[in-house]
Amino acid sequence: MSHHPSLSTQVRLAWHASGTYDRMTKTGGSGAGTIRFKEELAHGANAGLAKAVSWLEPVHKKHPQVSFADLTTYAGCVAVEAMGGPKVTFRSGRVDAMDPSSVTPDGRLPEADKGNPMATAASLRSVFGRMGFGDQEIVALSGAHALGRCHPENSGYVGPWQGAPTIFSNIYFILLAKQEKKEYWTPDSRVKQLQYQDPSGTLMMLPSDLVLVQDDKFRVYVDMYAKDKAKFYSDFAAAFQKLEELGIDSSKLTVVNDA
């Protein structure tokens, strides 16, 4: 079964719309649908996502009673399931902001490389901790890298994480657990960034992926998910629902597709 690569982009859109939440200031997150504004799409980590927003615009125009915030996050859940992943419980009730004043500052999403493994691990814990996630949830959510690929015009990195990038699975963890820690330069990357690839040159891992096996506390969960697909699916579904509902009053949400 083959799936359109746009599905993985919809997962990325839902992820990036939600991952800006800061629990200390109670700002950001998917609740106001701000990722549809050009000011947020201009953030470095959102390169290439304007097309995903444009794909949803005709649907939103046809169903104006559905907020763009709900549409964005629901599309992410549907895409995960359509690619063979778990059913993620989705609850509607987000209310769109009317102008870009709610857009958060750039720099709230995870970065691929902070210069060395210790700094990259610390950055992951800082970024995800700001949202309220612990180590296990960080690793579970990282499993979404089984989907899609890196594009040089977006991130500077090139290539897919696994050989079937439109199928949701735990293969990311299986590959990561046995990944040879070799460094390869990628000649066609936009900016001559160091890339971590398998010897065939077809698959790659980012420094922020490799740190999941370089850090002993993260590594426990990589090994667990590599061996137990059902556990990964269950933990991913719970973490992804939590991600999409960050900063939203649960009493105002209504279950649409109870898992």
Active-site position among 15, 43, 60, 161: 161
Mean pLDDT for the chain overall? 88
Predicted TM-score (pTM) of the model is 0.91
- E strands, the chain, are 91-92, 149-150, 159-160, 184-185, 194-197, 204-205, 254-255
- CATH assignment, 117-236: 1.10.420.10
Active-site position among 16, 43, 60, 145: 16
User: Do 117-236 and 6-108+237-255 fall under one CATH topology?
Assistant: no
16 flagged as catalytic: yes
Helix (H, G, I), strand (E, B) or coil at 103: coil
Render pLDDT for 27-58 as a digit per residue (tens, 0 to 9): 999 999 999 999 999 999 999 999 999 999 99
Q: How many whole angstroms separate alpha carbon 26 and alpha carbon 69?
A: 17
Based on C-alpha coordinates, what's the Rg of the chain?
A: 17
242: closest CA among 111, 77, 78? 77
Helix (H, G, I), strand (E, B) or coil at 70: helix
111: closest CA among 101, 102, 120, 103? 120
Residue 2 has a pLDDT of 42
Residue 149 has a pLDDT of 83
185 flagged as catalytic: no
Sequence ranges of the domains in the chain: 6-108+237-255, 117-236
Q: How many whole angstroms separate alpha carbon 188 and alpha carbon 203?
A: 14
Which residues, other chains included, contact 87 with Cβ-Cβ below 8 Å and sequence gap of 6+? 77, 81, 237, 257, 259
CATH number (1.10.520.10, 1.10.1660.10, 1.10.10.10, 2.102.10.10) of 6-108+237-255 reads: 1.10.520.10
